[in-house]
Structure 1
C-alpha cells in the first residue's frame, strides 16, 4: 500500500476520532446546561457524566493507538476469513455428531404398519398391462390412448382430459372417489409416458392401471385418488397442475400429496430405488413424506438412493459419501427447474402439495410389485392424516436417506457469506468516501445503478422472449450462449482500454460499495426461501470482493501493475454469472456441451414453463452488481490518495 495513501487514511481516522470526541464533549455540556435550577445534579446526570467520560477515554485511546486505520486495513483479511468459515461450516456438517437421524414426526402416518396385498396376486395384471403398453407408440399414445382409458373406466374411475392450447398437449387423468371421504382431499399418482431421461416409461405405465384397479377394490380410503398420465414430468404435468387449481371442472378436492413413478424397464426386477424430492424455487416436500417412503422401502428390503448415489456407495455411511450427497443436493436444488431435466415432483411446487419421484434403477433385485407397494403403503399413510403435513421439516439438507441437517444448522454458512460482502462494502466506503462525499455522491450512484438495473431488466425479458419463441431450435441457444460468453470476456478484458476516468474517486468507491452491499442483501433475501441459490451466488461472486485492492495497483506499466491487471480480469471473469452457468452446465452433464445449452435454455424458459424465478434472480440481482463492478473498474478513479493536511 502506498505510503501517502496510508498516511491519508491515518489522518482521516484521526479527524474522525477527534470529531467524535468534540461531539461527546458538546453533548455532555448541553445536557448539564439544560438542568434548570439545580445545584446538585441528579443521579442520572452523574451516570451520564460517567458514561460520557468513559466514551471520551475510549475515543482518546482509539485515536492515540490509531486503531481505526488498522482495523480498516485488516477488513480484506476478515472477508477472506469469513469465506473460509462459510465453506468450513458446510464441510463440518457431514461429520459424526453434527447431523441427525431421520424420524417420523407425525404419528398418524404409521408407515409399514398394515398388511399390503399388492403382491404376487397382482403380478399377472401388471405383466398383462406391460405387454400391452410395450406395443404402444408412446408419442401418439400420450395424446390419445383409448385402450388405457377403457381400462380405467372398467375399474370404475371417472376419466377426463385436459387440453393445453399453448403446448397442444392432452393429459388424461382418472378420479377415484373415496368410499369414506367427503371429496375434499385427494392424493395423486403420476405415470408420465416418458421419464426424465427421455425413455419410455413402460413399467410405470403398467403399474399405474394395476394400482388403480387394486385401489378401486378397497374400501379404506378417506381421500380421493387421482391417476395422471402426462406426456412428461415437465411442461405437460405442470400445465395440468395449474389447470387443476384454476380451470378444470372435474376435480377431487385439495391435493395433499403426489408420487411420480419412473420405471422404464420392461423386466420384473430392478436394483434399487432412487428418490428425487427437489422442488422449484427452493421448495422441498415435508420431510415426513420422504421418511415414509424410505421406511417402507427398508421394510421391503429395498436399497434407497438420493442425489444419484452410486450403487457401490449405497451401503456406505462415511464422511465422504455424506459430503458428496450434501454437495450434490445443494447444486441440484440451486438449478432445479432450470436444468431442463425435471422428474415430475417439481411440477407440484407452489401449491402446498408434498410431492416426490421414485425411480427404479438397474436390474436384478426387488420385483415390480415391491415398487408398487411403495406407492400403496405411502398412500395408506397419507390417508391416515386428518390435516395437512405440518409436523416435520420443510427446510433441510439430506446427507443420506436416513440422515439430515435442519435449517438452523446449515443456515449460518450463507449468513456468513452475506456478512462477508457487507464487510467488503464497508471497506470500500472507508477507503475513499467521507461523510460529505457520501451525501454528495449517493444520488448519482443510485441513478447509475438503477440505470444498469433497467438495462438488465430489458435484456432479461428480451432473452426470455427469444428463448420461448425459438424453443424448437437449438441454434438460437448456441448464439445466446456464445454472445453471453463473449460479453463476459470483452467486458472483463476491456476495462483497461478506457484511458481517462470519468467518475470521481468518492463516486467510484461508493458505487463499488453499493454493488457489494446489493449482493449481500440479495443473499439475505434468499437465505431462508432458497438457501442453495443464495449460497451458490455468494461463493461464485466472492472474487468481486478482491477487486478493490487489486484495482488500485493497476496504474502504470510496471510488472506489479501488469500482474494486478491480470488478476482483476480473472476475478471479473470468475465471478460472472455467465461463467458459473457454463461451469454448472458442464458439471451437471458430465462435461458435455449439450449440458451448457440445456441449462441456458432451461434458465431462459423456466419462468414461462415452470414459474421458476431463478433467471430473474440472476439477471436482476447478481448480474447488475457484477456489471456495476465492471463499470467502476473501467471508468472509476482509483489513484492513490493525495496527502491531506492535518488539523
Structure 2
C-alpha cells in the first residue's frame, strides 16, 4: 500500500496523467510505427526459421522414382496428340483424355454444371490396390493456366503419370486426376460438388497438387510454388517442405512469390523481405484476383494443396523431373496413416527453405490494433468534452452506427447482384446514391456526437483487427495499415485550417481508393490486365464463385467505420469547439 501511495503521489505531483493524455496521439503513432518496424525486422538473421519436416512418416526423398527417360516418349506422345486440340472446345479435349484414361484402367466421371459460363469438369479415379476407398490425393490440371496459356505440358504429363501410377501396387490412398476449365470457379465448383453432391467419389481428400505447365517445351528453368488459400487458410507446412526437399534433390530451383532470375539462389535481407511482403499481399488477395493459381480452390475442407507453375522454356531441367516431384510427393503423403497435424498451419514464407511462424509475426497486427484503440481513447479524452457527455451520446452513437452497418450490408449484397446483371442496372446505382446523399444531408451532427462517433469507429476498427488476427492475419494487417490515416482525423479537427488534411486522410483510407490503387499499380505491375476492374470484379464475385469473405469484411468492417468518420467530419459542427483536455480541466 505504501508503494502504491508513493507512486500515486509522484504521478499527481508531476502531472503525468494529463501529459500522457495529451501524448496519446503520439503514442498511437508510435505503436503504428512499431508494427511496421516489427515486420521489417522479421527477415533479419535470427528472427526466422529454417524449414524442416515435422512428420517423420512422410520420409521425403527416401524412395527412388522411376518416372524417368523411359516415360519421356510417353509424355511426348500424349502432348503431340493434345496439341491438335488446342483450339478445340473443352468437351472435345475431355472426351479424348477420358478415352486414354479408360484404356489405362481408371474410372472416369463428369461433374455436370448448370452454369452456362463454366464448362463441365472431367475426373478420373485410380483406386488404390491396398486401400479401402476412404482417403485420396488429387492431381488437378486446369486446361487454361493462370497465365492464360493452354496447359499442354500439364495435361500430357498428368495422363502419363496416371499410366505410371496404375502400374504401381504401393498405393494405400486413391488418386484423383481432375481436368477443369480453369483453376478458379470451375475447379472450386468441382471441389464443392465432390463434398456435397457427386455420386462418384474416392474418399476424403488429404492433399492436392495443381499442375500448370504451359507450352510444348521439354525443358524449363524453374517452377513457382503457390500455396495461398482462401480466407487466410494455408496448407500444412510439411507438405510444402516435402515438395521443396524433393525438388532440391532434383536440383530444381523453386520460386516463392514470383521471385525470378538470380534472386532464386540469393538469400539476403532484401530478397527475404520482398518475398515476405509479397506473401502478405498475395494471401490478402487470394480468391479475389483472377485468373487464380488453383490451390485456393481446395480451401475449406481441410485439404492441403499447392500449385506447381512451371516457368521458362529452356534450362537444365526436363519435364520428367516435374513428374518425379509429383510422384515422390504423393508417395510421401501415401505413407501417412492420419491427416496432416504436425508442423504449422499459420506461417509466412521468406523463401523455399525459410519461414516465420505465427508467434513471431502476430505482434505486428496486435500493435496496429492497439494503436487504433489508443486513438479511440485519445479522441474521447482530448476532444474537450467530459466523459459524461460521451456516455449520454452512446445510445445515439450505437443507433447511428447500426444504421450505417445495415446500409453497408444492403450495399454489400446488392452490388454483387448488380455486377451479374446488364448495364441497364446502372440507373439503379444512381438512384441509390441520390437517396443516400439526400439522407445524409438531413442529418444534423453536433460536435459532441461527432467526436463520440469518431471514437467509436476507431475502436470498432481495432476490434475488427483483433477478430481477424489469427483467422486472417494478412487481411487484418492490411486493413490496419491502410486505415491508419483515420487515426489523425481527430487531432486535425481541432484546427480549422486543417480541412484539406482531414480530406486527404479520409481520401487515402477509403477502401475503394485502395482498391483503385492496388489494382492500377500493384496488379498491373505483375502483368494483370485492367487491374482495377479485375480487383473490383473479383471482390464483388468472390463469395459466389469461391466463398471468399474478403468483400464482406471490407464492407461490414472497414467501410462502415470509414463512412461513420467521414460523415462525422463532413457534417459535424467544430467551429465552436475548444480543444481542451477533459483531464486537464478537472485538475
Q: Please report the TM-score for the alignment, with normalisation by the length of structure 2.
A: 0.93
Q: Secondary structure at the match of 2:348?
A: strand
Match of 2:397 in 1: 445
Find the partner of 1:572 among 494, 506, 517. Answer: 506
User: Is 1:624 the equivalent of 2:547?
Assistant: no
Question: Who is 1:599 aligned against?
Answer: 535
Cα shift at 1:97: 1.1
Alignment gaps of 5+ in structure 2: none
Query: 2: CA distance between counterparts of 1:103 and 1:59?
Result: 52
Task: Give the conservation status (yes or no) of the 8 Å contact 1:501–1:636.
Answer: no
- 1:178 is aligned to 128
Match of 1:513 among 455, 462, 482: 455
Report the aligned-residue RMSD: 2.6
| Match runs of 1:28-107 below 5 Å | 51=1, 58-107=7-56
What are the equivalent positions in structure 2 for 1:478-557 lying under 5 Å apart? 502-554=444-496
Residues 501 and 634 in structure 1, CA contact (< 8 A), matched pair in contact too: no
Q: Taking structure 1 as reference, are residues 476 and 532 closer, same or farther at Cα in structure 2, changes over 3 Å only?
A: farther
Say whether 1:196 aligns with 2:133.
no
Q: Identify which of 154, 160, 184 aligns with 2:103.
A: 154
CA contact (8 A) 1:190 1:261 kept: yes
Alignment partner of 1:465 is 2:417: yes
**Deviations 1:305-350, CA, capped at 9 Å, x for gaps:** 0100022211111111001101110111101101122111011000
Asked if the contact 1:288–1:392 (Cα under 8 Å) also holds between the matched residues in 2, the reply is yes
Shift of 1:83: 1.1
Find the aligned partners of 2:8 and 2:266 in 1 and give their Cα distance. Answer: 58
- Inter-partner Cα distance in structure 1 for 2:93 and 2:259: 37
Is the 2:380–2:387 Cα contact (8 Å) retained in structure 1?
A: no
SS of equivalent residue, structure 1 residue 589:
helix
Q: 1:401 corresponds to which residue? A: 352
Quote the offset at 1:399 in angstroms.
0.5
Contact 2:90 2:119 in 1 (8 A): no
Q: Deviations over 1:573-619 (max 9, x none)?
A: 11110111111112122187701100000000000000000000001
Q: Is the 8 A contact 2:494 2:578 kept in 1?
A: no
Match of 2:524 among 564, 569, 589: 589
Per the TM alignment, residue 393 of structure 1 is displaced from its structure 2 partner at its CA by 0.4
Following superposition, the deviation at residue 55 of structure 1 comes to 5.2
SS of residue in 1 equivalent to 2:220: coil
Give the number of aligned pairs: 576
Gap change, CA 1:124 and 1:54, over 3 Å in 2: closer
Q: Which residue of 2 aligns with 1:4?
A: none
Task: Could you tell me which runs of 5 or more consecutive residues in structure 1 were left unpaired when the two chains were aligned.
Answer: 1-50, 555-560
Report if aligned partners of 1:143, 1:231 keep a CA contact under 8 Å in 2. no
1:87-486 equivalences in 2 (<5 Å): 87-138=36-87, 140-142=89-91, 145-167=94-116, 168-365=118-315, 366-432=317-383, 433-469=385-421
Q: Decide whether the 8 Å contact of 1:138 with 1:193 is kept in 2.
A: no
Distance 2:504 2:542 in 1: 30
Instruction: Look up the SS of the partner of 2:38 in the other structure.
Output: helix
Q: CA deviation at 1:438?
A: 2.7
CA distance in 2 between partners of 1:245 and 1:469 (Å): 30
Contact 1:527-1:534 within 8 A present in 2 as well: yes
In structure 1, distance between residues paired with 2:395 and 2:219: 68
Q: 1:370 to 1:483 in 2, by over 3 A?
A: farther
- Give the 3 Å change call, closer, same or farther, for CA 392–143 of structure 1 in structure 2: farther
CA displacement 1:41-71 (0-9 Å, x = unmatched): xxxxxxxxxx3x7656554543443222211
Matched, 1:611 2:563: no
CA distance in 2, matches of 1:273, 1:148: 25
Q: TM-score normalized by structure 1?
A: 0.85
Listed one character per residue, the Cα deviations across residues 217-253 of structure 1 (whole Å, up to 9, x for unaligned) are 1000000000000011011100000000000000000
Per the TM alignment, residue 452 of structure 1 is displaced from its structure 2 partner at its CA by 0.8
Question: CA 1:115–1:571 in structure 2 vs 1: closer, same or farther (change >3 Å)?
Answer: same
2:569 is matched with which residue? 633
Other structure's SS at 1:108 match: helix
Determine the C-alpha separation between the residues in 2 that align with 1:613 and 1:357: 22
Distance 2:22 2:67 in 1: 70
SS in 2 for 1:169: coil
CA contact (8 A) 2:183 2:291 kept: no
Name which one, 1 or 2, has greater alpha-carbon Rg.
1
Distance of aligned partners of 1:108 and 1:296 in 2 relative to their CA distance in 1, 3 Å threshold: same
- Which whole-Å CA distance do the structure 2 matches of 1:56 and 1:636 have between them? 43
SS at match of 1:312: helix
Secondary structure of residue in 2 paired with 1:229: strand
Q: How many angstroms apart in 2 are the aligned matches of 1:56 and 1:143?
A: 85
